[in-house]
């Protein structure tokens, strides 16, 4: 990655961390950008609870969710501690681990490699602590797959500079409610009338866990639909029988974003389909679009907020500059993107966002 691109991506990450959005909503975008900086194949993030234990997990690798029970077992047996240290030790700063290159021989012969890393096709990884206030609040783990070269200590330090920024993002969520729009993640479940899950699409398990905020179950979802969603089956049953009932639609908003679940009957009356659409904050999508459009750090923030309807005066106050500076910045943005109104700007940023997601 060229120096200019790294500088622009670094500014983008810092802006994401300062938006005041829930960390679980913004972390996937942060990881995607950090992965580009050092050329990792995928990233994981682990949130810490107030008492330093593992609370929640996000991974760009679907297989990682299935290896978490093995990780927990090896942690209890002491195998993980001997190799890289325990998660609570990282969070309390009693011990730190940075680069798997330092323990390459021991790693390749370990149960941790066989049961946790290898099933995800991982071979090399670096660890960066998301910290604030003298303690850790989460772990960023960037992974290269088998066949790739090890990470250098220089690459680890290049990501380590963002540790405090990400710590800030975790500890300073906004109190203001965000406007949400459809994201790129959706999934479907096939269930019978008793609420038993018969089949599910690839992303449905993750959506189900995030909807009910049960990621601490380490990736193992129940074969029975949770009660909050079984209500949709009841509504659908009542409607099918001609009984007055609320529509079989449920909207659940939590720290992971907003989830819209809808139930539809099957033609053979053996059950129903539950479809889920994940929604993201509008400002987050526009920031990503501005970054992909090649705008500078300040321009990304101004363009996204302008497209969300923020006035020039309010923008100037938020970024601590004169209103005339905002006007000049907007002119540069319009010239750079060849747009001539806020509506066209918003449309262009949304297009850039969707193009970036299609290219994954």
Domain limits of the chain? 1-171, 180-281, 282-359
Is domain 1-171 annotated with CATH 3.30.450.40? yes
Instruction: Report the C-alpha gap between 77 and 72 in whole angstroms.
Output: 9
> Do the two domains 180-281 and 282-359 of this chain adopt the same fold?
no
Give Cβ neighbours of residue 284 (< 8 Å, ≥ 6 apart).
16, 19, 21, 25, 26, 29, 178
User: Is the pLDDT at 72 greater than 60, yes or no?
Assistant: yes
Instruction: Report the C-alpha gap between 26 and 356 in whole angstroms.
Output: 16
Give Cβ neighbours of residue 109 (< 8 Å, ≥ 6 apart).
none
User: Is the pLDDT at 351 greater than 80, yes or no?
Assistant: yes
Backbone angles phi, psi at 203, to 5 degrees: -95, -5
Instruction: Report the C-alpha gap between 48 and 276 in whole angstroms.
Output: 27
What pLDDT score was predicted for residue 176? 55
Q: Which long-range contacts (CB under 8 A, 24 or more apart) does 322-328 make?
A: 326/302
Instruction: Report the C-alpha gap between 11 and 121 in whole angstroms.
Output: 31
Query: What pLDDT, in 10s, does the model give residues 148-198?
Result: 999 999 999 999 999 989 998 888 665 455 678 787 789 999 999 999 999
Query: What pLDDT, in 10s, does the model give residues 246-294?
Result: 778 899 988 788 899 998 888 777 889 999 999 888 888 899 999 999 9
Q: In this structure, are residues 33 and 11 in contact, taking their beta carbons and an 8 Å threshold?
A: no
Q: In this structure, are residues 24 and 255 in contact, taking their beta carbons and an 8 Å threshold?
A: yes
Stretch 311-339: mean pLDDT:
92
Give Cβ neighbours of residue 308 (< 8 Å, ≥ 6 apart).
179, 282, 283, 286
Please give the torsion angle defined by the CA atoms of residues 146, 152, 157 and 163, in that order, rounded to the nearest 10 degrees.
10
A 10 A CB-CB count for 117 gives 23
Instruction: Report the C-alpha gap between 28 and 319 in whole angstroms.
Output: 25
What pLDDT score was predicted for residue 220? 47
User: Is the pLDDT at 336 greater than 60, yes or no?
Assistant: yes
| 359, burial (CB in 10 Å: exposed 0-12, middle 13-18, buried 19+) | exposed
For 180-281, CATH number out of 3.30.450, 3.40.50, 3.30.310, 2.60.40 equals 3.30.450
What pLDDT score was predicted for residue 259? 92
pTM: predicted TM-score of the whole model, two decimal places = 0.64
Is domain 282-359 annotated with CATH 3.30.365.10? no
What pLDDT score was predicted for residue 181? 79
């Amino acid at each position: 990655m060229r120096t200019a691109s790294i500088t622009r991506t670094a500014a983008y990450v810092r802006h994401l961390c300062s938006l005041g959005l829930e960390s679980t909503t913004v972390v996937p975008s942060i990881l995607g950008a950090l992965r580009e900086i050092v050329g990792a194949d995928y990233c994981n993030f682990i949130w810490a609870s107030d008492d330093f234990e593992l609370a929640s997990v996000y991974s760009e690798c679907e297989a990682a969710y299935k290896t978490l029970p093995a990780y927990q077992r090896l942690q209890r047996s002491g195998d993980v501690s001997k190799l890289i240290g325990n998660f609570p030790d990282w969070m309390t700063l009693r011990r730190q681990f940075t680069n798997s290159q330092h323990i390459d021989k021991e790693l390749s012969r370990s149960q941790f490699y066989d049961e946790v890393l290898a099933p995800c096709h991982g071979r090399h990884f670096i660890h960066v602590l998301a910290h604030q206030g003298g303690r850790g609040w989460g772990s960023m783990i960037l992974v290269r797959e088998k066949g790739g070269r090890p990470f250098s200590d220089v690459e680890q330090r290049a990501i380590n500079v963002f540790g405090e920024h990400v710590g800030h993002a975790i500890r300073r969520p906004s109190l203001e409610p965000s406007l949400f729009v459809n994201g790129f993640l959706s999934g479907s479940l096939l269930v019978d009338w008793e609420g038993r899950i018969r089949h599910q699409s690839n992303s449905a398990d993750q959506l189900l866990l995030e909807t009910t905020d049960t990621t601490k179950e380490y990736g193992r979802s129940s074969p029975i639909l949770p009660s909050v969603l079984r209500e949709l089956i009841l509504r659908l049953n009542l409607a099918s029988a001609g009984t007055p009932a609320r529509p079989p639609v449920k909207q659940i908003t939590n720290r992971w974003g907003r989830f819209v679940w809808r139930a539809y009957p099957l033609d053979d009356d053996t059950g129903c389909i539950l479809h889920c659409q994940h929604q993201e904050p509008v400002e987050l999508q526009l920031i990503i679009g501005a970054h992909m459009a090649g705008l500078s750090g300040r321009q990304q923030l101004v363009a996204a907020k302008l497209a969300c309807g923020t006035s020039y005066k309010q923008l100037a106050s938020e970024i601590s500059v004169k209103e005339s500076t905002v006007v000049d910045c907007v002119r540069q943005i319009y010239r750079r993107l060849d747009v001539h109104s806020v509506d066209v700007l918003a449309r262009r940023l949304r297009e850039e966002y969707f193009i970036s997601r299609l290219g994954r």
